[in-house]
Amino acid sequence: MKFLFTSLLILLICFQGISQTQGAQSIFSTGVSGCYSDYYITFHDRGAYEIPDGEHEAVLVVINQGKSECYMAKANVKNGQLVSPTTIQKADGTYIPVARMFKALDQDWLEEQDLETLYTITDGMSNVFQTQEKYHVRLFFHTFIHPDHGGNKKAPPANVLLKSDGM
């Protein structure tokens, strides 16, 4: 009886943990095809310099139904935060406001966000925004990414590094 009760308790805890994990699972943890993953992983691994005030070239990633497309854009920054307007580059080299592509941020989504940090840029990346059309959008400030210094240097074996020097 004790074994049965313990087994049921363990199963209940496992199912509860799994259901909470799936419910809180981000669309980005399940994988996004296209350019997003490469940009995100690189920026996450390397980080970026602080973005100074002004207008800067950026990569605008638009994610819809698990697929991403990347576009050249320009974004304005003030005190480490995005400010309007953000523009997207057209094929002829001109820029138009992103507001022409997306009406506005999703109001239900916006109500759940921390407005103090929503527009903050971290490691050269904006937060992910959700539009009324249910697109997800993120900016990467590629000109400020830290240089690639290659992988971590491996340590030599202990018997080589810790040679006895006769002491």
Residue 26 has pLDDT above 60, yes or no: no
130-162 burial string, b = 16+ CB within 10 Å, else e? bbeeebbbbbbbbebbeeeeeeeeeeeeeeeee
User: Which structure tokens are listed for 53?
Assistant: 């005030």
pTM of the model: 0.74
Alpha helix stretches (DSSP H) within 47-128:
107-111
Dihedral sign for Cα 11, 14, 16, 18, please: negative
- pLDDT tens digits, 52-100: 999 999 999 999 999 999 999 999 999 999 999 999 999 999 999 998 8
Average model confidence (pLDDT) across the chain: 84
Give the type of residue at 93: G
More confident residue, 152 or 28: 152
CA 90 remoteness from chain centre = 24
- Evaluate whether 117 touches 79 at the Cβ level (below 8 Å): no
pLDDT in the model for residue 20? 36
pLDDT in the model for residue 28? 53
Residue 23 host element (H or E): helix 2-23
The beta strands (E) that lie in the chain are given as: 33-34, 54-64, 67-78, 81-89, 95-97, 129-130, 136-140
- Evaluate whether 70 touches 107 at the Cβ level (below 8 Å): no
Residue 47 has pLDDT above 50, yes or no: yes
Structure confidence at residue 165 as a pLDDT band (50, 70, 90): low
- pLDDT tens digits, 103-162: 899 999 999 999 999 999 999 999 999 999 999 999 999 999 999 988 889 999 999 999
